[in-house]
Amino acid sequence: MQTGHEIHDAVVRRERSAEEATKAALEAIGRVEPSLHAYITLLPERALAKARDVDARIGRGEQVGALAGVPTAVKDIFCLKGELTTCGSKILANFKPPFSSTVVERLDAADAIIVGKTNMDEFAMGSSCENSAFFPTHNPWDLEGVPGGSSGGSASTVGARSVPYGLGTDTGGSIREPASFCNIVGVKPTYGRVSRYGMIAFASSLDQAGPMTADVRDAADLLEAIAGFDPMDSTSVDVPVPHYASALRDDLKGVKVGIVGEFEESIAVDPKMAKLYKDAYADLGALGASFVDVSLPHAKYGLATYYLIAPAECSSNLARYDGTRYGARVDGAADVYAMFDKTRTAGFGAEVKRRIILGTYALCSGYYDAYYVRAQKVRTLMKQDFDAAFAACDVIACPAVSCAPFELGAKSQDPVAMYLMDYFTIPMSLAGIPALSVPAGYVDALPVGLQLCAPAFEEARMLSVAHAYEQSSRHAAKREPVVS
């Protein structure tokens, strides 16, 4: 498969039509979908109509969008007007939103070709895609393995090289962990960088949409297209969006990379993983980067802090699913309260119920200060840790994950083991800073990503370092997925 920027260039130069590129992507998806189950809904007619429209405009010599002709998979958390948008949940199994998310509108405006809606953990709660109410998705690099989650469907289809662009969301690691597992680039932008309007809410102070792509250049292009202020999201920030692609460089001369002592201690328990990351840092050094030791002393409290704040926000956000205005309803209840209860009990899966109950508890009168407010204070300390670290370095390099993709079913009965998968990604989410995962090699033939993060709104800096590393190491290209 070509990258998104290669397809786009070929389409605008009329070497290949958008329709041909779209048909090729739909064929590739059709070939591997019986093994991967990456999509909840495929949209071939919509995709081909859009592709023909792009071709017609190019034929007339008209200007087309920056992503024109590039097949794109969209996580089923983004509202798409008139098309099924399930968020991986039975309670939204028949929901067709009356409007599109801002991100989808920007993709359409940029002339990307949306080919389908991808599978995910229900309401984005999970790290393996096994919490989907419909079916699990498989990892194209190991069909017995999970693709990661919650953005597992987008990761799987991009990792299988069916499409170059995927769109995910990241609350505590839901873009970066699946990107690592599926050997692709995954970017969680700064909180506030990308509009959340029309993106079904899980934890509103943490949720952020971002690209999951074949390479760093694609991530830069896709991020630029979706980023920017949106009056429909009062937490989107009015900071100019740079032309990320022009910031990408091929060396790291003068770049100071922070190495987090606490994270290196944690990863040392697995010698193979530790060696992979040591090699990755050495590669950054060979490109001219210098290193500085930094400390995130409160990172070890990340899991506890996150599992108070995110469930608290989730319990509030998911109160809207009550069978009244949209979504499923269980009929036959004697009164409205029984209807709420029956609807929510039947409509939500176990993980969603677990988090709603945990969050309701954290917000309960009598416990609110002890849990929720205390977690918010620790969040402040974690943010201050990053501020101090970035006073000494330009970017931080660290593990994205503690392991290569694990097998389906290996952790699905043990929620705490699953929560620990986000150990290295949660602190950046709580601090709201941008972070990405870029392919960094293989452990026992399975892909592993390197995490890079930067201060708020410095995505360009982080992408630039990732690009230099990717271009010199080319790890993703060294092997082929099991299916493609």
Hey, which residues between 226 and 255 contact another protein (CB under 8 A)? 231, 234-235, 237
DSSP state at residue 331? -
Give the angle subtended at the CA of 220 by the CAs of 219 and 226, to the nearest 5°: 85
Q: Is 180 a catalytic residue?
A: no
Hey, which residues between 338 and 397 contact another protein (CB under 8 A)? 338-342, 344-345, 348, 350, 353-354, 356-358, 360-361, 364, 366-367, 370-371, 373-381, 383
Nearest CB to another protein, comparing residues 298 and 475? 298
Hey, which residues between 399 and 438 contact another protein (CB under 8 A)? 415-416, 419, 430-432
Of the candidate residues 71, 198, 210, 327, the single one contacting another protein (CB under 8 A): 327
Q: Is 96 a catalytic residue?
A: no
Does residue 24 belong to the site contacting another protein (CB under 8 A)?
no
DSSP state at residue 161? T
- Other C-beta atoms closer than 10 Å to the C-beta of 478 total 12
- Per the residue annotation, which of 101, 150, 236, 464 is the catalytic one? 150
- Other C-beta atoms closer than 10 Å to the C-beta of 324 total 12
| Residue whose pair of structure tokens reads 């040392």 in the numeric block | 268
Nearest CB to another protein, comparing residues 135 and 337? 337
Residue 74 beta carbon to another protein: minimum distance, rounded to whole angstroms: 20
DSSP track, 409-424: TSSTT-HHHHHGGGTT
Of the candidate residues 23, 49, 53, 99, the single one contacting another protein (CB under 8 A): 99
Nearest CB to another protein, comparing residues 307 and 469? 307
- Other C-beta atoms closer than 10 Å to the C-beta of 282 total 10
Considering only CA atoms, which of 390, 326, 391, 321 is closest in space to residue 356? 321
Task: Give residue 278's identity as a one-letter amino acid code.
Answer: K
Nearest CB to another protein, comparing residues 204 and 290? 204
Nearest CB to another protein, comparing residues 379 and 475? 379
Nearest CB to another protein, comparing residues 122 and 221? 122
Residue 266 beta carbon to another protein: minimum distance, rounded to whole angstroms: 14
Q: Is 162 a catalytic residue?
A: no
Residues 137-176, one symbol each (x = binds another protein by CB under 8 A, - = not), give: ----------------------------------------
Residue 76 beta carbon to another protein: minimum distance, rounded to whole angstroms: 16
- Per the residue annotation, which of 50, 75, 188, 411 is the catalytic one? 75
Residue 118 beta carbon to another protein: minimum distance, rounded to whole angstroms: 22
- Per the residue annotation, which of 17, 100, 101, 174 is the catalytic one? 174
Residue 199 beta carbon to another protein: minimum distance, rounded to whole angstroms: 16
> CA 462 to CA 9: how far, in whole Å?
25
Task: Give residue 37's identity as a one-letter amino acid code.
Answer: H
- Give the count of residues interacting with another protein (CB under 8 A): 73
Judge contact between 251 and 220, C-beta under 8 A: no
Q: Which stretch binds another protein (CB under 8 A): 216-224, 259-267, 317-325, 459-467?
A: 317-325
Task: Give residue 289's identity as a one-letter amino acid code.
Answer: A
Hey, which residues between 195 and 214 contact another protein (CB under 8 A)? 205
b/e map 354-374, b = 16+ CB within 10 Å:
ebbebbebbbeeeeeeebbee
> CA 477 to CA 484: how far, in whole Å?
13
> CA 273 to CA 469: how far, in whole Å?
18
Q: Which stretch binds another protein (CB under 8 A): 115-123, 152-160, 244-252, 293-301?
A: 293-301
Residue 215 beta carbon to another protein: minimum distance, rounded to whole angstroms: 29
3-state helix, strand, coil in the chain (%, to 5): 45, 15, 40
In order of 27, 57, 202, the CA distances from 12 in angstroms are 22, 10, 38
13 CA to centre of own chain: 31
Nearest CB to another protein, comparing residues 52 and 300? 300
Q: Which positions are catalytic?
A: 75, 150, 174
